[in-house]
Chain A
Amino acid sequence: MTDWNRQKAGLAERFASGRAYAAGKTVPIAKLPAFLEAVLRPGDRVCLEGDNQKQADILATALADVDPAKIHDLHMVQSGVVLPEHLDVFDKGIARRLDFSYSGPQSARIARMLFGGKIELGAIHTYLELFGRYFIDLTPQVALIAAVCADRDGNLYTGPNTEDTPVVVEATSYKSGLVIAQVAEIVDKVPRVDIPGDLVHFVVEAKKPFYVEPLFTRDPAAMTETQILTAMLAIKGIYAPYGVRRLNHGIGFNTAAIELLLPTYGEALGLKGRICTHFALNPHPTLIPAIEAGWVEQVHCFGSEVGMEDYIAARSDIFFTGPDGSLRSNRAFSQTAGLYACDMFIGSTLQIDLQGHSSTITASRIAGFGGAPNMGSDPRGRRHASEPWLKAGAEADPGTPASLRRGRKLVVQIGETFGDGNASLFVEKLDALELAAKLKLDLAPIMVYADDVTHIVTEEGIANLLLCRDRDDYEQAIRGVAGYSEIGRARDKKMVERLRERKVIQRPEDLGIDPLDADRRLLAARSIKDIVRSSGGLYRPPSRFRNW
């Protein structure tokens, strides 16, 4: 007789083991390692939040403290490898295998550990892809999640940093997995129910808030004239002609500069209402002046950003907020929105090769992908039309009859020809290829593939890859915006001029932009303090950004 309910029985058994340490649903911190040893099993698939921003830090520390003789060979499935403890579990033999998406803060150590064979790598995913696999073949058996507070029934308030929690709990709890939440405190009544108590088995009262990385705050004081120039090029050379209203900005100074140029440069070009009205975006402080000036209709957020809570709550017409007034973010839905409901992704990268592939992997650092492969991909399942989508599709494929010709999402890679440490953005061979060989990966970890990239913007100009017809076109178009790098200096000058005539390459002067006009005075806010002022005092920047 086949037993078809073993997982439910397994859950009941773990739950009973855990109950021995709990009062109701609450487990005291002091008992955490023993509790975890009781409810985990060797080889379990465990999701430890590990989001892009919020971290279940108390649970991470406790997990790294379990006895590896009892709990070992865990398979970690989590979006973000952010805390040192996320890698300590591998060092100690508590965990063996890893599937993840993003590892920014741990990029150097994770590289060392992967090369050293301390981690068995499943794959590096994009967020939405990993979330999808939570429902197919990477379903967590135990989820260790982070929430703001809980009531005694286990109803959770996740608040502005809701992020991945709903999708993690959905996949885990409904497949007989165990859900353990850390909260700052247990209250009589939560401000709103983000996760129903039915889905939560145990709660740990941490007595302090979960850790959050401030990732999306860019100090305008650090913005350079070159970044402002690339922002002007993007606005006048792409946003305006395509009429981009629905979009996502990847993280970085170039996009933050674009946000700060909307109320000034964008206004002078008469673009208000015609571009940048709807965003899938984290609450960037640099978007505040544009919001205040009436550019933005709405923003859906993947997560929150430290210091933005009061501003968001006061702008509920713009942001998604709950009945309690605070932001509700949701990475899975935001990633879906970015995939299908946005007409453009624009973001920066570390390396672009001569075919147009882009990657952030370097020889010694593995930062993962985050959302970029998803946001920066052309969704072939899309069926609704929009002006930019149709225009890009026509440029890419003028031969096909219009009614059978799908549009294209604009995928823009923006950056300076020389990045940090004066390293060239353009390279002959991506470091990612070397990494793939070293780790014996099936695929080199490419962030955005060449056939998805539609435009490259540098301070030298814009390369429109949609208008390229063959490999030579591609190569010279890329060389033609690669500035004074080795790649750029090796260009075929005659070919580049012809590409310029075809408008495959557009220089600042072709767009009526004088690079000398790329002046910091164009920024709607030139300091964090300016942004605070713009928000009417509602934005409260983290301490590291203060100069008052």
Chain B
Amino acid sequence: MGFNDALIGLVLVIFAIAEIAYSTTFPSLHGQAYGPSLFPIIIGCGLLACGLVLIARGLRTRNQQSRLAQSTQAESDKATNSPTWVQLGDWAHDPASRINMLLVPVLLVAYILLSEPIGFIPLSVAMLTILLFRLGSSLLTSIVIAVVTTLMLQLLFAKVLLVPLPSGLLLRWLG
């Protein structure tokens, strides 16, 4: 997914201003000119400058693009030449991969929120099954691979490396 440089620059500038504003509230050390706010402010200024340059660059490319588009509009299709703010990747034109793209963050957020109450094993099986199925395995293979992988991970991390994976529902049912 490509954004026009100007958009990225704008985001950076806004972020930098907010960051500098917040940094100035940090207390300074007694008798010391340089406090904890120094580095964040330097970084903020750098980001601000870069953001501004990116905006300038982005606008220039956009102008060039539109000039190019005007001169060649007749023979070529508009979709490729018209100036764009956001250029979506190939995945965005295909509804299936669009869902897949969103699926990864959604599944991860679900895991972060639900891992404590539900537990690692059921959640991991569910996540893997959904993802495997969406990426083109058949439903049965997805479930089998998901169960096997989950059990291996559980064995490896919880039993061998002694990581306290959230146990959740399953253990409560087993007593």
Are the chains A and B members of one assembly? Answer: no
